[in-house]
Amino acid sequence: MQEYDDAVLACFLENQLKLFPEEVAKTPEEAEDFLEECLAVVVDSLKEVWAYFDDSGADIQGMSLDDIAQADEVFEVGDGRYLIVEA
């Protein structure tokens, strides 16, 4: 099971409206529960985000790493890591 540290939870809480029309979590505990339910993934680089989408069969043909970084499902944690939330 994926572990979500304080930085990941804070990132999701701050940026969840990027992906959802309204807040799905108000506390770190709620955020962790939600991310676990969604099977959200934390990766160490944009290249790993690319590989994740490629492996999952997403249509990323012709997209740059910048395009991938701007996807609604991708959250930059701020320490080089990325949170991927497919809801």
Kindly report the three-state secondary structure assignment for every residue of 7-74: HHHHHHHHHHHHCCCCCCCCCHHHHHHHHHHHCCEEECCHHHHHHHHHHCCCCCCCCCHHHHHCCCCE
Q: What is the pLDDT of residues 54-71, one digit of tens each?
A: 999 998 989 999 999 999
Output the pLDDT for position 2: 82
Q: What is the pTM of this model?
A: 0.93
Checking if the pLDDT of 87 tops 80, the result is no
Q: Where are the domains of the chain?
A: 6-84
Q: Which of 10-14, 59-63, 79-83 has the weakest average pLDDT?
A: 59-63
